[in-house]
Structure 1
Amino acid sequence: MMGFWKEAHGWAPIEAAELLNKSMLEWQGSLAEQLSVWCGTLTDGQLILAWANLGALVEGQMKLLLSVYYQDYLTDADAIKKKGHTLDPDGVTLEPLILFFKRRIWSPEEEWETWVRMVQQRRNAIHAFKAKTIGTTDELHAALAKFLEFVRFINGRLPYPDGHYFPPEY
């Protein structure tokens, strides 16, 4: 999925293609390949790293959607702003992304916000000085299954040149 969008020149709007080209989508792909590392029983340190891995991927999926629809995002009244200037998706942190998606992308009956905030909170345990909830290995595994649904949710909203391209699931 990330490899496909990294090569969007020629059919995607030029501004979106340039933003996607400069983004580190290949790192997103590499991080996704590491998810299998977290399938067994994990120590606390491994669990913290797994949540950080998952959190980076969730944030990356959200940024991908906004980057693909970059022109629409720039003209959206709810676009993420700082000092009156719309921020590019690649420079936005997770909290403003959550707020934007809550207002503009997720429908009220979808429970994505609750799940993303749980991932966010557990990902922040990477700042390992203050006690934070990291959950259990089983909770992480459930979150990984939900992540696949999230990737499908995002991918289902992306425009592909042939209208029906779907990245392979490994």
Structure 2
Amino acid sequence: MDNVEKIISGNVQLAEFWSNSHDWAPSNAAKLMSKSRLDWQVSLSHSLRKWSSLKENESGDLILAWVNLGVLVEGSMKLFVSVYLDDYSNDEDKYLNYKTNDQIDPDILAFEKLKQFFRKKKLVNEKWFSFLDRVQQRRNAIHAFKDRPIGTAYEFYEDVENYLGFLRDINCSLPYPDEMMRPTF
């Protein structure tokens, strides 16, 4: 799974850069990203290797593989919104706590809210939303009592490849102080 190695490389580079962005990123965004667990994105990327030989009759492993991929996708979306925290904070569509009316920061937003925000603000190409919906639905099969579609191992591998493309699109949409600093993977 060459795609997994590229995902690992990408998330390593993103974590190294964005977890130490105090010198140039807006202070609120740099503070949020420095406390975010971008290192877990890296670790979860390494975990994708465990699913390199899924068997169709091993539903539990396939569900866990989707959970692994879903958490990575959600984390990449959180990184994107966190980098643009000032824009999010000033946006009329930011999410607010209904009791306190305080802003809900991107590191707390659930997958569905992130997806809604991305769609409403057109933060990524429309082509990604079928991928995001599918990964979210299959990841939610972790709630095992209810019957849910989990797809196939082949579909999982296709969506690992899709995640690499999504991660690259996220990376290309992030601002860097110098183009030489932009991760390449």
Query: Which TM-score band applies after superposition, normalised by the shorter structure?
Result: over 0.9
Write the letter of the residue equivalent to 1:25.
L
| Residue pair 1:106, 1:112 contacting (<8 A) in 2 also | no
- 2:126 matched residue in structure 1: 110
- Structure-2 separation of matches of 1:80 and 1:94: 13
Match of 1:57 among 64, 67, 72: 72
Write the letter of the residue equivalent to 2:89.
L
Sort the Cα spacing of 1:12 and 1:106 in 2 relative to 1 into closer, same or farther, 3 A: closer
Deviations 1:48-77 (A, max 9, x none): 111000000110011001101100110011
Q: CA deviation at 1:133?
A: 0.8
1:148 aligns with 2:164: yes
- 2:50 matched residue in structure 1: 37
Tell me, what secondary structure is at the counterpart of 1:156?
helix
- Structure-2 separation of matches of 1:160 and 1:130: 44
Write the letter of the residue equivalent to 1:47.
L
- 2:150 matched residue in structure 1: 134
Q: CA deviation at 1:164?
A: 4.0
Write the letter of the residue equivalent to 2:140.
N
Q: CA deviation at 1:160?
A: 1.2
- 1:73 matched residue in structure 2: 88
- 1:91 matched residue in structure 2: 108
| Residue pair 1:48, 1:123 contacting (<8 A) in 2 also | yes
Write the letter of the residue equivalent to 2:155.
E
1:22 aligns with 2:38: no
Q: CA deviation at 1:88?
A: 0.3
Q: CA deviation at 1:166?
A: 3.3
- Structure-2 separation of matches of 1:167 and 1:40: 29
- 1:166 matched residue in structure 2: 182
Instruction: Give the total of aligned pairs.
Output: 168
| Residue pair 1:47, 1:134 contacting (<8 A) in 2 also | yes
Runs of 4+ in 1 over 4 A off after TM superposition: none
| Structure 1 gap segments, 5+ residues each | none
Matched-pair identity in %: 46
| Structure 2 gap segments, 5+ residues each | 1-13
- Structure-1 separation of matches of 2:123 and 2:24: 27
